[in-house]
Amino acid sequence: MAATDLERISNAEPEPRSLSLGGHVGFDSLPDQLVSKSVTQGFSFNILCVGETGIGKSTLMNTLFNTTFETEEASHHEECVRLRPQTYDLQESNVHLKLTIVDAVGFGDQINKDDRPIVDYIDTQFENYLQEELKIRRSLFDYHDTRIHVCLYFITPTGHSLKSLDLVTMKKLDSKVNIIPIIAKADTISKSELHKFKIKIMGELVSNGVQIYQFPTDDEAVAEINAVMNAHLPFAVVGSTEEVKVGNKLVRARQYPWGVVQVENENHCDFVKLREMLIRVNMEDLREQTHSRHYELYRRCKLEEMGFQDSDGDSQPFSLQETYEAKRKEFLSELQRKEEEMRQMFVNKVKETELELKEKERELHEKFEHLKRIHQEEKRKVEEKRRELEEETNAFNCRKAAMEALQSQALHATSQQPLRKDKDKKKF
């Protein structure tokens, strides 16, 4: 037998022995303690409503919780889908419920049918929870859990088939959230059309591999009702907060010239089935599934992405310390590589700049030499001109002096002539 097998056997826990008690001890009150603790702590439940503008999301929420939530009509002109969460504190008997209703505002209105904001919103809530879990000082006890427990997907009652947007969106969401598809405004579609529409929708969901939430059948207490209700999906609902007198009772209904559609009449619509399944029977399962299935998947992917793993190839137990060391080494070598890359880049840049500067210096030098040559040439020409001018001036001065000499000689000659004439006259 291999050493590791022996180790495993010696490490295996022995089977605990069953013993009978001699009398009442009291730990049978544990379930009650659990209930009491949960009631004190309160519950949170988060619903995401996805469906085109005006499909009846707010009306249905008001009808489901028999109250009026502060909701404003959504604009049809939003540039992209925006998630609008609103949280309310509700109380029924001594149970407190922190209910968050998240509206996907603008869904289905855009030409650009982007479902990314919805996926991102769901992931952000998972990430917030994960961050809280990873904190050294965790306070999960009073942490406001905003993870989406259920997505009510409102299908337009066309009677034809699902829109491609519906299929694409549900496919993207099905691994992240429990989807319950519902046919909205079911009073606008006839009974036979509705029957065919339901079959068509379920067929399309199956053929496109969309996983919708199935009411659990593993708990005996609710297995039967859940199995029956699974066959009724998608629920066709009618919402209304109006009260109409039927017989001598006031009931919530929609009144038309030809009759009254009663919200809570199971012959009229599936509203009661939805309320029963969503709130009265499976609310805790939805919360549980969100934590154990959808969040678990997100957490696993995220931790694997961060480099954590349960065991290596030889099935060695997971060590947080080793993973941390490995990640640290990886990070440091990456840092070193980046540093070296940056240093090299810097050296290259300096070399480049140095070359550029040298080239510029050479150009400047050449320019200077050229200008110097031009300057010398100019100077030589000016010098020559000056010499020529000097020579011309000298020649001019000589000519001037000669002229002046001639002039004075001539002047002298003319002044001597009258004297001689006078002498000659005297002789005669």
Tell me the CA distances in angstroms from 253 to 53, 60, 210, one per residue in order. Answer: 22, 12, 33
- Quick one: what does residue 262 bind among ligand GTP, Mg ion, none, with the CB cut-off 5 to 8 Å set by partner type? none
Minimum Å distance from CB 82 to ligand GTP? 11
Q: What type of residue sits at position 379?
A: K
- Omega before residue 234 within 30° of 0, cis: yes
Instruction: Closer to ligand GTP by CB, 101 or 277: give it.
Output: 101
Q: Which of 323, 319, 314, 321 is nearest to 8 (CA)?
A: 314
Q: Which helix (H) or strand (E) is 246 found in, with range?
A: strand 243-246
Number of residue whose CB is nearest ligand GTP: 56
Q: Which of 52, 70, 49, 44 is nearest to 60 (CA)?
A: 49
Distance CA 30, CA 229 (A): 32
Total residues contacting Mg ion by CB under 5 A comes to 3
Which residues of 221-315 form beta strands (DSSP E)? 235-236, 243-246, 249-256, 259-262
Contact residues for ligand GTP, defined by CB under 6 A: 53-59, 73-74, 185, 187-188, 238-239, 254
Q: Mark the segment that binds Mg ion (CB under 5 A) among 51-59, 119-127, 144-152, 280-288.
A: 51-59
Minimum Å distance from CB 82 to Mg ion? 13
Q: What type of residue sits at position 75?
A: S
Q: Which of 60, 148, 156, 59 is nearest to 108 (CA)?
A: 156
Distance CA 159, CA 333 (A): 61
Minimum Å distance from CB 259 to ligand GTP? 13
Instruction: Closer to ligand GTP by CB, 222 or 261: give it.
Output: 261
Q: Mark the segment that binds Mg ion (CB under 5 A) among 64-72, 112-120, 190-198, 284-292.
A: 64-72
Q: Do 298 and 176 contact (CB within 8 A), yes or no?
A: yes
87 strand-pairing partners = 100
Instruction: Closer to ligand GTP by CB, 149 or 254: give it.
Output: 254
Q: Do 222 and 185 contact (CB within 8 A), yes or no?
A: no
Phi, psi (degrees; rounded to nearest 5) at 201: -60, -50
Per this entry, what is the length of the chain? 428
Residues 6+ apart with CB under 8 A from 107: 50, 51, 52, 53, 81, 115, 118
> Is the four-CA dihedral 288, 294, 300, 302 of positive or negative sign?
negative
Minimum Å distance from CB 71 to ligand GTP? 6
- Quick one: what does residue 198 bind among ligand GTP, Mg ion, none, with the CB cut-off 5 to 8 Å set by partner type? none
Q: Mark the segment that binds Mg ion (CB under 5 A) among 71-79, 80-88, 151-159, 280-288.
A: 71-79
Number of residue whose CB is nearest Mg ion: 58
> Please, what is the Cα angle at 306 between 300 and 312, to 5 degrees?
75
Among positions 58, 63, 282, 289, the unique one binding Mg ion when judged by CB under 5 A: 58
Minimum Å distance from CB 47 to ligand GTP? 13
Instruction: Closer to ligand GTP by CB, 185 or 275: give it.
Output: 185
Q: Which of 85, 147, 189, 397 is nearest to 292 (CA)?
A: 147
Longest CA pairwise span in the chain (Å): 201
Instruction: Closer to Mg ion by CB, 118 or 210: give it.
Output: 118
Minimum Å distance from CB 60 to ligand GTP? 6
Instruction: Closer to Mg ion by CB, 126 or 154: give it.
Output: 154
- Quick one: what does residue 234 bind among Mg ion, ligand GTP, none, with the CB cut-off 5 to 8 Å set by partner type? none
Instruction: Closer to Mg ion by CB, 52 or 285: give it.
Output: 52
Minimum Å distance from CB 195 to ligand GTP? 18
- Quick one: what does residue 187 bind among Mg ion, ligand GTP, none, with the CB cut-off 5 to 8 Å set by partner type? ligand GTP
* Pair of tokens at residue 333: 């070598």
- Quick one: what does residue 53 bind among Mg ion, ligand GTP, none, with the CB cut-off 5 to 8 Å set by partner type? ligand GTP
Minimum Å distance from CB 171 to ligand GTP? 22
Instruction: Closer to ligand GTP by CB, 58 or 289: give it.
Output: 58
Minimum Å distance from CB 85 to Mg ion? 13
Instruction: Closer to Mg ion by CB, 71 or 211: give it.
Output: 71
> Where on the chain is the footprint of Mg ion (CB under 5 A)?
57-58, 71
